[in-house]
Structure 1
Amino acid sequence: MRKYVLFYRVSTKKQGESGLGLEAQQRDISIFLDTYSDTPYRILSEYTSIHSGSNIEDCPKFQEAIKACKCNNATLLIAKVDRLSRKVSVFSRVIEEIDVKVAVMPNADKFQLHIYAALAEQERDFISKRTKAALKEAKARGVKLGGIREGHDKMILAKREAAVARAEKLRPLVTELLKNHKSYSALARTLSSVNADGKKWQTTQAKRLLDRLSLTL
């Protein structure tokens, strides 16, 4: 029976929380298991890492996954080559120590995976150099880099004006509520209970509302 240890990796906490990167990896691995895997098979464990691929060896989840494969004579299953590591040296060492399968390259052997990892590393290095060169050229032409995009100030102003307009609509209600509410939290609770659209007010939002209306408790 083929035994698998599944390993997923995203680079940032935001990607992990959104689930977008993980969902794609889970989909690819599911396709591999349903279509290309030896049968029967067994999934021993799954590891999900939020860690940069450039220093994956410092990741505890990565180390646990490798150890699980060695202890159980299992195959490490990943969605794509770069989900394991972005360094060909690390990837090559891993595929020499344990059996590795890449979902999107289901029939690739160790030699092919090594070549692909090396080519991917070269491509990333070239893209990095090309980006730096383009930025240097743009700066030499007088292009302002990293500045606020055109229209940004207008957008911020429009949002502020819209917030003030919404607050003004609530002025009569808030003025009446202030007669009996002496804390922001109490005001927030009452606004939540009388709000027709079901919005739940927070204490900080109640305070900000009073600030916009120039009202005080």
Structure 2
Amino acid sequence: MQRFVVYTRVSTKKQGDSGLGLDAQERDIQLFLENYSEVPWEVVARFQDVESGSRSDRPELKKAITLAKSSNVTLLVAKLDRLSRSVAFIAQLLEDKKLNFRVASMPYADKFQLHIYAALAEQERDFISKRTKAALQEAKARGVKLGGYREGHKAHHDAIRQNADRVAERVASTILSRRAVGTTFQAIADELNALGVETARGGRWHGTTVRNYAQRLEAA
């Protein structure tokens, strides 16, 4: 029997209280167990943190890792960044011969591929951060007023964001699994269009649309 310790993480207490993000993680974990795990399987324990992925000293993660190593069971997470957003920390876990862990959304990825994916994701996050700061500085220089939505439009913007979140969760496994093996954003868009999946606004997918959703998923 293959035995697992399941670990999930959200970044804020609001997400933890509402279930935002947790439902998607639990769904992906269940899909992995039912479709990619050896049979029979058993989940021996579940741990959950409400902490930033940049922190490596999360208490529940420590408990999950300790149990996985001491009981010779597999640590299972929905996405690689649920473990950490730090390449150094993930590399440390990958080098630990006493620890075996799997990523539900990348069921066939070996340790070498996971390391590469973590490094690429870290580079992309760094680039996105710099690009966002540069765009804000340019907007400020042009005299654009920054600082949020007008109150009268709040409900409209909330509805758009919630619908985008629902679409992001629905296509999460497809986008992340394809990206993990190097599929381009445009190729993923073509596949989603062929499957008849619509965007949050009811339109067709483009490479830039998939890229935006991938960024949304990584930040969730």
* TM-score (norm: length of structure 1): 0.67
Match of 1:119? 120
Tell me how far apart the structure 2 counterparts of residues 96 and 18 of structure 1 sit (CA, whole Å): 35
Shift of 1:20: 2.2
Match of 2:32? 32
Match of 1:94? 93
Shift of 1:5: 0.5
Tell me how far apart the structure 1 counterparts of residues 152 and 50 of structure 2 sit (CA, whole Å): 35
In the superposition, relative to structure 1, how do residues 139 and 150 fare at CA in structure 2: closer, same or farther (>3 Å)? farther
Superposed CA deviations along residues 3-33 of structure 1, whole A, max 9, x for unmatched, are: 2110000000011011121110000000000
In the superposition, relative to structure 1, how do residues 6 and 134 fare at CA in structure 2: closer, same or farther (>3 Å)? same
Where in structure 2 are the equivalents of 1:74-93 lying within 5 Å?
A: 74-93=73-92
Match of 2:137? 136
Q: Which runs of 5+ in 2 are unaligned?
A: 154-220
Q: Which runs of 5+ in 1 are unaligned?
A: 153-217
Letter in 1 for 2:77: I
Tell me how far apart the structure 1 counterparts of residues 57 and 118 of structure 2 sit (CA, whole Å): 20
Tell me how far apart the structure 2 counterparts of residues 64 and 150 of structure 1 sit (CA, whole Å): 44
Letter in 2 for 1:9: R
Q: Let me know the Cα RMSD of the aligned residues.
A: 1.6
State the structure with more CA Rg.
Answer: 1
Match of 1:16? 16
Shift of 1:151: 4.6
Superposed CA deviations along residues 57-115 of structure 1, whole A, max 9, x for unmatched, are: 22110100110011011111000111110111111111222111000100110000111
Secondary structure at the counterpart of residue 33 of structure 1: helix
Superposed CA deviations along residues 98-143 of structure 1, whole A, max 9, x for unmatched, are: 1110001001100001111111111111100000000000111111
Shift of 1:44: 1.4
Match of 2:194? none
Q: Percent identity?
A: 62
Tell me which stretches of 4 or more aligned residues in structure 1 moved more than 4 Å: none
Tell me how far apart the structure 1 counterparts of residues 18 and 24 of structure 2 sit (CA, whole Å): 12
Tell me how far apart the structure 1 counterparts of residues 124 and 54 of structure 2 sit (CA, whole Å): 15
Tell me how far apart the structure 2 counterparts of residues 142 and 118 of structure 1 sit (CA, whole Å): 37
Tell me how far apart the structure 1 counterparts of residues 148 and 8 of structure 2 sit (CA, whole Å): 36
Tell me how far apart the structure 2 counterparts of residues 75 and 96 of structure 1 sit (CA, whole Å): 15
Superposed CA deviations along residues 154-209 of structure 1, whole A, max 9, x for unmatched, are: xxxxxxxxxxxxxxxxxxxxxxxxxxxxxxxxxxxxxxxxxxxxxxxxxxxxxxxx
Tell me how far apart the structure 1 counterparts of residues 122 and 148 of structure 2 sit (CA, whole Å): 31
